[in-house]
Amino acid sequence: MTNKEIIEGYNKSKESLNPILDKLQDINGFVSKDDIANIANYLEITEKEIMILLKYKKNIKLEKQGDNIVIVCKGPNCLKNGSLDIIKAIEYEFDVKEGNTSKDGKISLETKNCFKKCAFAPNVEINGKLYSNCKKNDIVKILKDMIY
């Protein structure tokens, strides 16, 4: 089934926008520009309306995600305890920018405002597993072991 067929399987109403986006995210791991154009066309809304919604819908990714998803906390406690150094180390070691995926597709580097584990700052989630009291060198080593 193509993405277009998936989109057109939903009711042609604005209420379908959220479920369509969630479905495409689930199936493909991201929602492409073409998908957004097709959704806008099918639901007879503008692409801009969809992009406004996507600002709040953080689960939807607009590009293919890397093999490994790294989320570094940028909440106050984690910042105070070195999360920016961790971000910089990951950017340097794996040639990836915050909010993006490395060219080789190995890592997506994201940030989050708080994992609600502030007492154990800094916190980093790698592929769904939370690491606490992180040191930048340990995180780089964990990632190198996963990737290489």
Rounded CA separation 128/69 (Å): 8
43's enclosing H/E stretch is helix 33-43
Cα 125 off chain centre by? 12
Least Å from the CB of residue 140 to ligand FES: 19
Residue 70's nearest CA partner among 108, 114, 115, 120 is 108
In the numeric block, the tokens 């939370």 are attached to 130
**Among residues 32 and 132, whose Cβ is nearest to ligand FES?**
132
Q: Taking CB under 6 A as the criterion, which residues in 54-113 touch ligand FES?
A: 73, 75-78
Least distance (Å) between residue 139 CB and ligand FES? 14
Say if residues 121 and 84 touch (Cβ distance below 8 Å). no
Query: How many chain residues are in contact with ligand FES, going by CB under 6 A?
Result: 12
Q: Minimum distance between the CB of residue 79 and ligand FES, rounded to whole angstroms?
A: 7
Judge whether 137 and 89 are in contact, CB under 8 Å. yes
Contact call for residue 114 and ligand FES (CB under 6 A): yes
Does residue 115 bind ligand FES (CB under 6 A)? yes
CB of 135 to ligand FES, least distance (A): 15
Binding site for ligand FES (CB under 6 A): 73, 75-78, 114-118, 121, 123
